[in-house]
Chain A
């Protein structure tokens, strides 16, 4: 009884102690939110790459950039390789043509492709509003969820992409992955825009109609995409082919390190908060020695005393946790909306992160309360009653 009132009786001390936990949880929520968002991007990537081989120019045969550019002609050649279900050519470029613009995370992109992958079941992006592109389209765009605010896009309206006007025919559903920051346009439009970005010397040599930046080969059912990558690299000159393992090795492994560091930093600050809870509860027990004697005199068991103080400590933990979560969540919302203009939503406070942070603060409160509470529970009632 009176758990909450006991905690808040010493207002300044309660505030400071709770604030210690709040800072820790705040750090956990904000930094964890960053890690969660990046994890989602990586998961999206893992999922995207798991049955695909990406073919880009380069490889052993490539001498200089552009000397052996990928063209859409390669699509047929790659599709002829055994184990390739389908191949699809893509052209992409960053959305922002200002080279000085710095973005953190994945920059928004303009992408065009031949839409051949639409034949693959479940491959299609879900469209939240409007429709998907078709092969007959021209001058239209499907906008990724995170770009809607930045481009002020709505279905039926128009947007400017590198000086050209496009009609928005669809808005993609939010995937939390890389596709949220893509504007997808018909292949020919993307080829034309891309061609315009090339140095004049290359513009003369290359035909926009056959330009491609990468070709995505879809592995047939039961075919290992990594083995397929090796095979494609061996049978086509001047390209490099990467399978899912390469992505795994580069991104997933460094992500694991990043996660460890971020959560480690946040946990350390939480543990410091936990120490201040131990300190506060120890002081509370000392101050209330006489009260503990009285409680025992009127029949409290040691267990009841223990529960009383652990409960008070848990209240400190949960209050600090909820405040930290609220503060952290508001901060990520503010940072995300500040990033809206450049479509860099960097933070995702997932349900598991929210529950986990508050749960951790609760557990920390309980653990921090255990020793002081145990100390209180085993006080000799007679001594405690004589205590001044």
Chain B
């Protein structure tokens, strides 16, 4: 297997007070192959988001190793971490998290501009990705003028705009109804198949996990089981 993400023995402790802390991760390990689409499931508070943030270069572990796309990243900090995150990882969130003052096109282009694209190139890329997710006729709309499903499609396009090796979704269908949820997972599966982009989706929805290749089960800060 050609791993795109390898995580070994990750720990992360959040201090809440002087003698008060939470061990969000207690030695989590996993491997995700290039081109896979995997689900991460587990009870609330089991460390799914923390694991995803660390694997996606948004955060740093207290100990353990993270390899992303052939490169060790757990020691990176500051600007180096930001650069890897911007180029190699695309994030999708539960609440869509589009910037409300920008149109769909501008939201997608913004991520490309942050990665260093010129305004023009960024807009071109954004346009073709919005077409890919079926929003060719909604590019100039503000997020508030779009349905939840449409907003999440914009977020998918934004996650893809820098051609990342991996897209990570933290409960990306959590705010959507069943039908829309299936539709959005379908869009991601299609992109996964056609472009070979790796997807990792944290979800509580078994129907989402059903569509994925494998499911990683977490409990109390460790990976408890992996099912196919």
| Cβ distance A234 to chain B, nearest Cβ, rounded Å | 77
Closest chain A residue to B170, Cβ basis? A385
| Cβ distance A162 to chain B, nearest Cβ, rounded Å | 68
Residues of A within 8 A of B83 (CB): 299
Q: Is A294 an interface residue (CB 8 A)?
A: yes
Residues of A within 8 A of B59 (CB): 380-382
Most buried by B among A6, A294, A299, A300: A299
Judge whether B101 and A385 touch: CB under 8 Å: no
Q: Mark A287-314, 1 if CB is under 8 A from B, else 0.
A: 0001100111111111010000000000
Give residues of chain B (163-216) contacting chain A, Cβ–Cβ below 8 Å: none
Given contacts A304-B114, A382-B53, contact A297 B58 (CB under 8 A): yes
Among candidates A5, A299, A385, residue contacting B162 with C-beta atoms closer than 8 Å = A299
Residues of B within 8 A of A385 (CB): 58, 93, 97
Judge whether A297 and B106 touch: CB under 8 Å: no
Q: Is A1 an interface residue (CB 8 A)?
A: yes
Q: Mark A350-387, 1 if CB is under 8 A from B, else 0.
A: 00000000000000000000000000000011100100
Number of interface residues of A (CB under 8 A): 21
Given contacts A299-B86, A301-B79, contact A294 B93 (CB under 8 A): yes
Number of interface residues of B (CB under 8 A): 29
Q: How far is the CA of A5 from the CA of B144 in the complex (A)?
A: 15
Q: Mark B58-90, 1 if CB is under 8 A from A, else 0.
A: 110000000000000000001100110111001
Judge whether A382 and B82 touch: CB under 8 Å: no
- Secondary structure dominating the interface of A: helix
Q: Is B158 an interface residue (CB 8 A)?
A: yes
Most buried by A among B83, B85, B90: B85
Q: How far is the CA of A294 from the CA of B102 in the complex (A)?
A: 13
- Secondary structure dominating the interface of B: helix
Residues of A within 8 A of B90 (CB): 298
Q: Mark A309-331, 1 if CB is under 8 A from B, else 0.
A: 00000000000000000000000
Q: How far is the CA of A2 from the CA of B159 in the complex (A)?
A: 19
Residues of B within 8 A of A291 (CB): 97, 99-100
| Cβ distance A158 to chain B, nearest Cβ, rounded Å | 65
Residues of B within 8 A of A302 (CB): 78-79, 82
| Cβ distance A328 to chain B, nearest Cβ, rounded Å | 31
Q: Is A11 an interface residue (CB 8 A)?
A: no
Residues of B within 8 A of A382 (CB): 53, 58-59
Judge whether A2 and B106 touch: CB under 8 Å: yes
Residues of A within 8 A of B53 (CB): 382
Judge whether B106 and A1 touch: CB under 8 Å: yes
Residues of B within 8 A of A294 (CB): 93, 97, 99
Judge whether B102 and A2 touch: CB under 8 Å: yes
Q: How far is the CA of A297 from the CA of B158 in the complex (A)?
A: 11
Judge whether A299 and B114 touch: CB under 8 Å: yes
Residues of A within 8 A of B86 (CB): 298-300
Given contacts A296-B82, A297-B85, A304-B114, contact A1 B102 (CB under 8 A): yes
20 sampled A-B residue pairs with Cβ under 8 A: A1-B102, A1-B106, A1-B110, A2-B99, A9-B101, A296-B58, A297-B56, A297-B85, A297-B91, A297-B93, A298-B114, A298-B158, A299-B82, A300-B82, A301-B82, A302-B82, A381-B58, A382-B53, A382-B59, A385-B97
List the 4 closest A-B pairs by CB distance, nearest first.
A299-B86, A299-B114, A298-B111, A5-B101
Which residues of A does B touch, CB under 8 Å? Answer: 1-2, 5-6, 9, 290-291, 294-302, 304, 380-382, 385
